Amino acid sequence: MKFQAIKGVRDILPPESALWNRVEQTAREVFRTFGFSEIRIPDAEHTELFTRSVGEGTDIVSKEMFSFQDHEYPDLDRFRGTLIFHQPTIEDRMQFDLYKAQVSGFVNELSKHVSKRELPSTPESLRAITEIPTLLAQLENMREQYRETASEQTRVRFELYAGHVRDRLRAAQLGDNLSLRPEGTASVVRAYIEHGMHVLPGNVKLYYMGPMFRRERPQRGRYRQFYQIGAEVLGTSDAPGIDAEVIGMLMTLFEQLKLKGAVLSINSIGDSKCRPVYLEKLRAALVKIRDQPEPQMGHDSLSRIETNPLRVLDSKLESEQAIIEKLPRIGDHLCADCRGHYDEVKRQLTLRGIAYQENWRLVRGLDYYMRTTFEITAPGLGSQNAVCGGGRYDGLVELLGGPAATKGIGFAIGTDRLVLSLQEAGEGTVQEGLDVYLAWFGAAAQAAAIGLAKRLREAGFVVELPAIEIKFGKSLGLADRLKARHAVILGDDELAAKVVTVKRLADGSQKKLAEPELLAYLSAETGKG
Ligand code: AMP
């Protein structure tokens, strides 16, 4: 059997991984200069955290999450398995008593864990706890009755009720509903609330990087395990200057990475005052189109009219473009506060010399956004050309149980796409080659080479030290194939003269140097040391 990585996930191999490191390192450095600190969030959370924040009607929550039931009490689970498997019989009293005692024991355990909040109190578990004792008592009665009457009818009812017990047992939930994180904001906000970070002075500015998981149809630039570098600002202020500062930080990062052709699009999608009014107008317009004899709309958009009408604006279907162009626009329906906020965001961007395009259709796929939304596209990516998305989410902290009136804004960069775009632009190579291939010949030379390798590495050079002795010709051939810049040769002659031979592999020129000169020479050649 040959194993392969599962669908939609991939390995990131050298030398590409060196570019990933450069991207992540640059992000850390740029974010630090803007006063952001790193937060490391878990890869899995309670599913409900995402359902509540990202939203039930979104693609992410409705079809893309990798969810599973945790297995907190494997013994209890196994015990339940045996109870479901062994059915009580109406004739055998001892067997029935044992069954009844065991099922009651299970229900007691379940109830204990649920009341201590160690297991979720789902409606199914609560039903098991309240209904099974009654069902057991009824079974007991039927058994007594059957002993006297041997009625076939009673036996049938007994089987039926035993089936009810089995169903209740099966439906009880013996672990939490968990999901691999499809995005990072929900976890950051959860952590902010859980650790009472609102008491910290000023705005809390956090960044994270790591894998996210969505069950998408894989294609270039779209994976099931992909990576994001994200940042969030949480606090009491929603000043438009914060929006512009966050966007400015992004643009600084892209500039430092030499990403060319990045285009920033912005929009405002209103707040809880003006957006519902707009949504009703939008929905009404869409319903009108839907109810025409031959609506030119695809299945996805039609189903979104009820669940998430804003997402219709996201559609890239050719046939829907003309329809969408005629739909009501949020920009014409913003309330005075949102309009003022949006105008000020644009002024603040201009103050920072940041160019932007306005795109009234930029609504983003997650429910928690309000007011400012933005997206950055980059060249070389085909249809999956968004490298970063973000926006303001002022109500989210409160929605997840945190202090009311907490504001928030953030973004997530798709690292896979950023790396792809850099590679396409020829910014993808990161020099990580060998400075020195240290060829040694003979046991005494090996001992000296081990010491020399240590000192060269301490000075910052990249050194390959062969683990076994390799013949001269083969050794230099390998140095060549490993693309080492220099071979340093250490044999009996060199040992006796207290020097090494250093050979520049590009032109074959060589010289004999003592260790201090070697260090100086390599420094001059590589710019390190
Ligand atoms: P979102 O969290 O959906 O706002 O996405 C933010 C950014 O993450 C996008 O602009 C993409 O660059 C990236 N992204 C989202 N989904 C995927 C995916 N399945 N594969 C690769 N990158 C993705």
Q: What is the pLDDT of residue 397?
A: 96
Q: Which of 214, 417, 421, 422 to mutate to test the pocket of ligand 1 (most atoms within 8 A of CB)?
A: 417
Q: Is the CB of 254 under 6 A from ligand 1?
A: no
pLDDT at 293 over 90: no
Q: Which residues pair with 67 in a beta bridge?
A: 179
For residue 505, give the nearest of 476, 528, 527, 529 by alpha carbon. 476
Q: Write down the residue that tokens 């003592």 correspond to.
A: 514
Q: Is the CB of 388 under 6 A from ligand 1?
A: yes
Q: Whose CA is nearest to atom 8 of ligand 1?
A: 414
Q: Whose CA is nearest to atom 15 of ligand 1?
A: 414
* Residue 209 φ/ψ, nearest 5 degrees: -145, 145
Q: Write down the residue that tokens 């230099």 correspond to.
A: 476
Ligand 1 center to 198 CA (angstroms) = 28
Q: Give the pLDDT band of residue 56 (cuts 50, 70, 90).
A: confident
Ligand 1 center to 273 CA (angstroms) = 29
Ligand 1 center to 452 CA (angstroms) = 47
> Which is the closest atom of ligand 1 to the Cα of 387?
12
Map residue 489 onto helix, strand or coil.
Answer: strand
Q: What percent of the chain has pLDDT over 90?
A: 87
Q: Is the CB of 228 under 6 A from ligand 1?
A: yes
Ligand 1 center to 20 CA (angstroms) = 16
Ligand 1 center to 226 CA (angstroms) = 8
Ligand 1 center to 114 CA (angstroms) = 37
pLDDT at 432 over 90: no
Q: Whose CA is nearest to atom 4 of ligand 1?
A: 389
Arithmetic mean of pLDDT, 191-198? 98
Q: What is the pLDDT of residue 132?
A: 97
User: What is the C-alpha separation between 182 and 96, in angstroms, rounded?
Assistant: 48
Ligand 1 center to 271 CA (angstroms) = 24
Q: Give the pLDDT band of residue 356 (cuts 50, 70, 90).
A: very high
User: What is the C-alpha separation between 161 and 155, in angstroms, rounded?
Assistant: 10
User: What is the C-alpha separation between 24 and 210, in angstroms, rounded?
Assistant: 10
Q: Give the pLDDT band of residue 427 (cuts 50, 70, 90).
A: confident
Q: Is the CB of 386 under 6 A from ligand 1?
A: yes
Q: Give the pLDDT band of residue 316 (cuts 50, 70, 90).
A: confident
Q: What is the pLDDT of residue 518?
A: 97
Q: Which of 58, 61, 187, 212 to mutate to test the pocket of ligand 1 (most atoms within 8 A of CB)?
A: 212
Ligand 1 center to 4 CA (angstroms) = 24
* Model confidence pLDDT, tens digit, residues 63-78: 999 999 998 899 999 9
Q: Whose CA is nearest to atom 14 of ligand 1?
A: 414
Q: Is the CB of 215 under 6 A from ligand 1?
A: no
pLDDT at 331 over 90: yes
Arithmetic mean of pLDDT, 313-322? 87
Q: Is the CB of 59 under 6 A from ligand 1?
A: no
The pTM (predicted TM-score) of the whole model is: 0.89
Q: Is the CB of 412 under 6 A from ligand 1?
A: yes
User: What is the C-alpha separation between 466 and 470, in angstroms, rounded?
Assistant: 8
* Model confidence pLDDT, tens digit, residues 382-422: 888 999 999 999 999 999 999 999 999 999 999 999 999 99
Q: What is the pLDDT of residue 36?
A: 98
DSSP alpha helices (H): ranges in 202-307? 240-256, 274-290, 299-307
Q: What is the pLDDT of residue 374?
A: 97
pLDDT at 178 over 90: yes
79-93, 288-302, 313-327: range with lowest mean pLDDT: 288-302
Size of the chain, expressed as the number of residues it contains: 529
Q: Whose CA is nearest to atom 13 of ligand 1?
A: 414
DSSP alpha helices (H): ranges in 72-218? 74-85, 93-115, 123-149, 152-171, 185-194
Name the average pLDDT for the chain. Answer: 94
Map residue 209 onto helix, strand or coil.
Answer: strand
Q: Give the pLDDT band of residue 183 (cuts 50, 70, 90).
A: very high
Q: What is the pLDDT of residue 302?
A: 84
**3-state SS record for 394-463:** CCHHHHCCCCCCCEEEEEEEEHHHHHHHHHHCCCCCCCCCCCEEEEECCHHHHHHHHHHHHHHHHCCCCE
